[in-house]
Amino acid sequence: MDVADVVVLQASYSNPVHAEAIGALLNHYALDPMGGGQALAPDSLEQLPAELAKRPQAFSVLAFAGGQAVGLVNCFEGFSTFACRPLVNVHDVVVLESFRGRGLSKRMLQKVEDIARQRGCCKITLEVLEGNLRAQAAYQACGFANAMLDPAQGRMLFWSKAL
């Protein structure tokens, strides 16, 4: 597959082909060790596109090769109080194993950047596991770096609390 033959587009949550692709690719990610290694609940996957469609701040980017869905990026618009402008958080990045290493994440993240610029966003954020060196290299190649305000205070850390 030539990466130029891949179609990268903003998903339509009401398009059944796109909706199915989002669920299948997200589950592929969940099954990967970097996604936790466990399948997602079928009812959650089925409801996901409709739930995303309810959120105007959500958007997804899909990559298709020969009609097959091979990549997904799920994003959510947030807001930077310091810049008083919106921002985009990349929540999920998925490329099928057989299509990795061909620049698909770069193409999809460029589409995310185009959408973020259209929305007037000041930045794009994402989180990545420390052990996911391949993803880190891909993100660095796209211009991402560890977040920090003041080098003397160190890097920003991503924390969570389950509810």
List, in order, residues 6 or more apart from 42 with CB less than 8 Å away: none
Look up the pTM and report it: 0.93
Does some domain include residue 160? no
Where do the H-state alpha helices sit in the chain? 16-31, 42-53, 104-118, 133-141
Structural domains counted in the chain: 1
**Closest-CA residue to 93 (of 124, 68, 116, 61):** 61
Q: Which residue numbers in the chain have pLDDT < 70?
A: 1-4
Q: Which domain holds residue 90?
A: 3-127
Does some domain include residue 116? yes
Does some domain include residue 30? yes
Does some domain include residue 137? no
List, in order, residues 6 or more apart from 49 with CB less than 8 Å away: 13, 14, 18, 19, 22, 23
Using one digit for the tens of pLDDT, what is the confidence trace for 46-76?
A: 999 999 999 999 999 999 999 999 999 999 9
Q: How many Å is the Cα radius of gyration of the chain?
A: 16
Q: How does the average pLDDT of the chain come out, rounded?
A: 94
| Residue-level pLDDT at 157 | 86
Any idea what the CATH number is for the domain that residue 51 is in?
3.40.630.30
- Asked if 62 and 9 count as a contact pair (C-beta separation under 8 A), the reply is yes
Does some domain include residue 72? yes
Continuous segment of H or E residues that includes residue 62: strand 58-65
Does some domain include residue 44? yes
Structure-token match 């850390």, residue found: 157
**Closest-CA residue to 57 (of 144, 126, 116):** 116
| Residue-level pLDDT at 74 | 98
Does some domain include residue 157? no
| DSSP secondary structure code for residue 73 in this structure | E
Continuous segment of H or E residues that includes residue 30: helix 16-31
| Residue-level pLDDT at 1 | 59
| Residue-level pLDDT at 159 | 87
One-letter identity of residue 28: H
Does some domain include residue 88? yes
